[in-house]
Structure 1
Amino acid sequence: MEFDLWWFAYLLLGAVVGFFAGLLGVGGGGIMVPMLATFFVAQGFAHEQVMHLALGTSMAAIVLTSVSSLRAHHARGAVRWRIVRLITPGILLGTFGGTFVASRVDTVPLAIFFVCFMSYVSVQMLINAKPKPSRELPGGAVTTLVGVGIGAVSALVAIGGGSLSVPFMTWCNVKVQHAIGTSAAIGLPIAVAGTVGYLINGWGAAGTPPLSLGFIYLPALLLVSVVSVFVAPLGAGLAHRLPVATLKKVFAGVLMLLSAKMLYSLFA
């Protein structure tokens, strides 16, 4: 009975993650990591491995969610593929390297920085701060370096990068719907590199539960992914029907809620 209840919990989590992945171009890690960590503690997993398992499983689940969200946004012409090509090399380097840091360094200071940054971004979106009309995306080398930063932070907190890439692109005068669609595409290389990194770093680690592969817990991965893949297109469709101002406020609200949840998880 208990096992069946955990199946239901993972399926419900997949529905929430998929919806926000499609709506906001985020991978859902900001929701998955705290929820998976809570579930793993309740299931009696080794305490010293709970956070690593939550991060690794979240990254792996983002792979299929990103594919589904990407396809839905691409069908609506919302993916700026030139940006994806420029930023992906840095994304791959930063994300893969970030998984090695995550397995060895305390991430609390980084998480606090991340929360402060998200709060700043949220306020800017809520007051609808306008970028300078002349501002454009930087050149290829600078965009690649931005990708390294986005990838590294994404790996350390297991997000699909939307919380960083969407504000970056809107700051550079990319239309918000296109920023969200492009972020969904950027989330795929983040998820793939992060998954490989957490698999390598967790391979043979002591204390991981049965049915895990490295720092990836397979039952949670499969159940979350199955539902999120089907729900993500629903969120993507809504993203293209909402007005820009409303979409920014929804995005800001989600960022603030996730920031508050992260702080609570750190200090509770």
Structure 2
Amino acid sequence: MITSLTLFGLCAVLGSAVGFLAGLLGIGGGLIIVPVLTSLLLWLKVVPDTSVMLVAIATSLASILFTSTSSALAHHKNNNIPWHIAPWVMGGVALGALLSSFFAALLPEDYVRFIFGISVLLIAYRMLYSKEKAEESVTLPKGPLLSSITALMGALSAMIGIGGGALIVPLLSHFSIDMKKAIGCASACGIVIALFGSVGYITSGWHVFELSAGFIGFIYLPALFGVVSTSWFMAPIGAKATHHLPVKVIKRVFAGLLVIIAIKMLMS
């Protein structure tokens, strides 16, 4: 009981930071939740070392279900979700996330850690060196092809425990979708990735951990409730802070932090 309460409190602090950064920089919380929660679970010895990464990823995805819903509702009210393409994008990421979450549970811990570390390095690189303007307009693929492309992004997102915005927004921007519309579509996709990814992690981990120990599959409830209890409220504060803080500087610092996290994860 004491361990669960300690983890809940620490995850509430983590949720505050994640929610604020999500609102300030428009990034998903999984990039921070997964490595920090992995360290907390190892420190408190809540789960075996061989399952700690999967528990962190599954719990991260479950928390993103709440934050993405809040974000998507706001974007929908502002007419920032392009519903003429959103179903194709959401269908693709749903299938990818569901299949990936089952597959990740079969991989050795070191493989999952390696995939997460490399993915974070690439995302950090894009944050540091992304161009402000698109070079050329590119025609958006037709529905089925678009779904096939986004299925790969949904699969990677679910495997590393992120909402997918870091992958989907640049993709849609590349195909000449307005940035606000791209972010709105990504927020809606975050719900689908988190939902279907969580279902996969719950199903594949159902016989690994017991509900009486605080688990639903690979999702650890005390950590989930801790993160959600604060991240939901801090995201709007972070969004308002964009008008007062040097976001570009903070984004570069954050990207540098991601590089350190990724290298540490790869060397562990």
TM class, shorter-chain normalised?
A: 0.7 to 0.9
Q: Deviations over 1:45-85 (max 9, x none)?
A: 22112111111111111111111121223333332233321
Shift of 1:2: 6.1
Tell me the distance in 2 between the aligned counterparts of 1:260 and 1:171.
Answer: 28
Provide structure 2 residue ranges, at least 5 long, that are not aligned to the other structure. none
Question: Which residue matches 2:258?
Answer: 258
Counterpart in 2 of 1:215? Answer: 218
**CA shift at 1:120, angstroms?**
4.1
Point out the more displaced range, 163-172 or 201-210.
Answer: 201-210
Q: Decide whether the 8 Å contact of 2:124 with 2:258 is kept in 1.
A: no
| Amino acid aligned to 1:197 | G
Tell me, in whole angstroms, the C-alpha distance in 2 between the residues paired with 1:221 and 1:100: 20
Equivalent residue, structure 2, for 1:48:
50
Question: What is the CA–CA distance in structure 2 between the aligned matches of 1:198 and 1:215, rounded to whole Å?
Answer: 6
Matched residue type, 1:260: I
Residues 70-114 of structure 1: per-residue CA shift (max 9 Å, x gap): 122333333223332120111111001111121112224433542
For the pair 1:122 / 2:124, whether they are aligned, the reply is no
Specify the code of the residue in structure 2 equivalent to 1:111. Answer: F
Secondary structure in 2 matching 1:47 = coil
Deviates more, 1:149-158 or 1:224-233: 224-233
Matching residue within 105, 112, 115 for 1:107: 112
Pairwise CA distance, 1:148: 0.6
Q: What is the TM-score normalised by the length of structure 1?
A: 0.86
TM-score, length basis structure 2:
0.86
Against the structure 1 CA distance between its residues 185 and 22, is the aligned structure 2 distance closer, same or farther, given a 3 Å change threshold?
farther
1:38 aligns with 2:42: no
Q: In the alignment, what sits opposite 1:148? A: 151
**2:143 & 2:251 partners in 1: Cα distance?**
27
Displacement, 1:161? 0.3
Matching residue of 2:99: 97
Instruction: Specify the code of the residue in structure 2 equivalent to 1:39.
Output: L
Is it true that 1:135 corresponds to 2:165 in the alignment?
Answer: no
Q: How does 1:1-268 map to 2 (within 5 A)?
A: 4-45=5-46, 46-105=48-107, 106-125=111-130, 128=131, 130-205=133-208, 210-237=213-240, 251=251, 253-268=253-268
Compute the displacement of 1:32 (Å): 0.5
Structure 1 portions without partners, runs of 5+: none
Residue-by-residue CA offset, 1:207-240 (whole Å, 9 max, x unaligned): 998111110111111121121122223334556x
Residues 121 and 167, structure 1, Cα contact 8 Å, conserved in 2: no
Contact kept in structure 2, 1:25 and 1:183, CA below 8 Å: no
Preserved contact between residue 11 and residue 227 of structure 2 (Cα < 8 Å): yes
Aligned residue pairs, count: 263
Cα distance in 2 between the residues matched to 1:43 and 1:211 = 14
Q: Give 1:248 deviation, angstroms.
A: 6.5
Moved more, 166-175 or 213-222: 166-175
